Chains A and B, each alone.
Chain A
Amino acid sequence: MGFTSFNFLIFFPLLIILYYATPLKFRWCTLLIASYYFYVNIKPCFALITAGITLSTYIFTRFMDNTNDESLKRKFMVMNIILILLPLIFFKYFSTVNKGIFSMLESFHLRWALPEIKLFLPIGISFYTFMAVGYTVDVFNQEIKSEKNIGILALFISFFPLILSGPIERAKNMLPQFTAIKGLDNKMITKGFKLLLWGYFMKLVVADRLGIYIDAIYNNIYQHNGTSLLFASFLYPFQLYADLGGYSLIAIGTANTLGFNVVQNFKRPFFSVTMSEFWRRWHISLISWLTYYIFTPLSFKYRKFGIWGIVAALLLTFLISGIWHGLGLTFVVWGIIQGLFLSIEALTNDRRAIIKKKYNLNKKWWYILFGISFTFILFDASLIFGRAQNCIDALHIFFRIFTTTGDLFIGSPSTLIYCLLGLIMLLAKDFTDEYIPSRFLLFENRNKFIRVISYSSIIILILLIGVFDGGQFIYFQF
Chain B
Amino acid sequence: MEGSLFIFNFRCVGRKIIYNLVLIGIIILILDSAIGKTLNYFYFTETSGVHYRTTVSMESNTAELLIFGSSRANHHYVAETLEKGLTMDTYNCGREGNTILYSYAIFKAVVKRYAPKVLIFDVNINELDYDKVSYERLSSLLPYYENHPEIRSIIELKGPFEKYKLISKIYPYNSILLTIAVGNMGLNMTRKSDLKGYVPLYDYIKDTTLHKIEMADGILDTNKVNAALGIIKYCNSNNILLIFIQSPLYAIGQNTISTNFFTKLAEENETIFWNFINDPDFINKPEYFQDQDHLNDNGANYFSNLLIGKITNLIPTQK
Interface residues of A (CB under 8 A from B): 6-7, 10, 20-21, 23-25, 182-186, 189-190, 413-414, 417-418, 452-453, 455-456, 459-460, 463-470
Contact = CB atoms under 8 A, between A and B. Distances in A.
A186 B161 contact: no
B161 A463 contact: no
Interface in B1-26: 1-5, 7-9, 13-14, 16-17, 20, 23-24
Contact of B31 (A20, A21, A183, A460): A460
Given A20-B8, A21-B7, A184-B14, A6 B161 contact: yes
B1 A24 contact: yes
Contacts of A25: 3
A464 B4 contact: no
Q: Which 5 A-B pairs have the closest CB atoms?
A: A469-B136, A414-B178, A183-B1, A463-B170, A6-B161
Nearest to A457: B31
Contact of B177 (A182, A456, A459, A465): A465
Contacts of B5: 23
Contacts of B13: 184-186
Given A25-B3, A414-B177, 6 more contacts: A6-B159, A20-B8, A184-B8, A463-B32, A464-B177, A469-B136
B17 A463 contact: no
Contacts of B176: 414
Contact of A23 (B4, B164, B174): B4
What class of interface size applies to chain B in its complex with A?
35 or more
Given A414-B179, A452-B23, A466 B174 contact: yes
A289 B219 CA distance: 44
Main secondary structure of the interface of A (DSSP, over half): helix
A60 B61 CA distance: 73
A190 B17 contact: yes
Interface in B130-173: 132-133, 136, 139, 159, 161, 164-165, 168, 170-171, 173
6 contacts: A183-B4, A413-B178, A452-B23, A452-B27, A459-B28, A469-B139
A470 B136 contact: yes
A20 B176 CA distance: 40
A456 B31 contact: yes
A21 B8 contact: yes
Interface string B74-86: 0000000000000
B2 A24 contact: yes
Contacts of A469: 136, 139
Nearest to B34: A460
Contact of A189 (B17, B24, B165): B17
Nearest to B30: A456
Given A21-B7, A456-B31, A464 B174 contact: yes
A417 B178 contact: yes
Nearest to B12: A186
A239 B192 CA distance: 31
A7 B161 CA distance: 8
Interface of B: 1-5, 7-9, 13-14, 16-17, 20, 23-24, 27-28, 31-32, 35, 132-133, 136, 139, 159, 161, 164-165, 168, 170-171, 173-179
A447 to B, nearest CB: 14
Nearest to A463: B170
Contact of A418 (B20, B170, B175): B175
A159 to B, nearest CB: 21
A24 B3 contact: yes
Contacts of A452: 20, 23-24, 27
Given A469-B139, A470-B133, A24 B4 contact: yes
B170 A184 contact: no
Contacts, number: 83
A184 B2 contact: no
Contacts of A453: 27
Q: Which among B1, B3, B24, B133 has the highest number of chain A CB atoms within 10 Å?
A: B24
Contacts of A456: 24, 27-28, 31
B171 A463 contact: yes
Contacts of A21: 7-8
B205 to A, nearest CB: 12
Which residue, A25, A184, A185, has most C-beta atoms of chain B within 10 A? Answer: A184
A159 B178 CA distance: 41
Contacts of A24: 1-4
A216 to B, nearest CB: 13
A442 to B, nearest CB: 14
A451 to B, nearest CB: 9
B175 A467 contact: yes
A465 B39 CA distance: 13
Contacts of B132: 470
Contacts of B175: 414, 418, 464-467
Nearest to B171: A463
B3 A6 contact: no
B4 A6 contact: no
A6 B165 contact: yes
A27 to B, nearest CB: 11
Which of A24, A414, A464, A470 is most buried by chain B, counting CB atoms within 10 A of its CB?
A464
A30 B115 CA distance: 59
Contacts of B165: 6
Contacts of B35: 460, 464
Contact of B9 (A183, A466, A467): A183
B9 A468 contact: no
Contacts of B28: 456, 459-460
A418 B179 CA distance: 12
B151 to A, nearest CB: 18
Nearest to A16: B17
Contacts of B16: 186
B170 A464 contact: yes
A331 to B, nearest CB: 26
A6 B16 CA distance: 26
B139 A184 contact: no
A3 to B, nearest CB: 16
A460 B38 CA distance: 14
Contacts of A468: 174
Contacts of A20: 8, 14
Contacts of A186: 13, 16-17
A460 B170 contact: yes
B158 to A, nearest CB: 8
B262 to A, nearest CB: 28
Contacts of B17: 184, 186, 189-190
A20 B1 CA distance: 12
Nearest to B170: A463
Nearest to A469: B136
Contacts of A459: 24, 28
Contacts of A465: 174-175, 177
B228 to A, nearest CB: 24
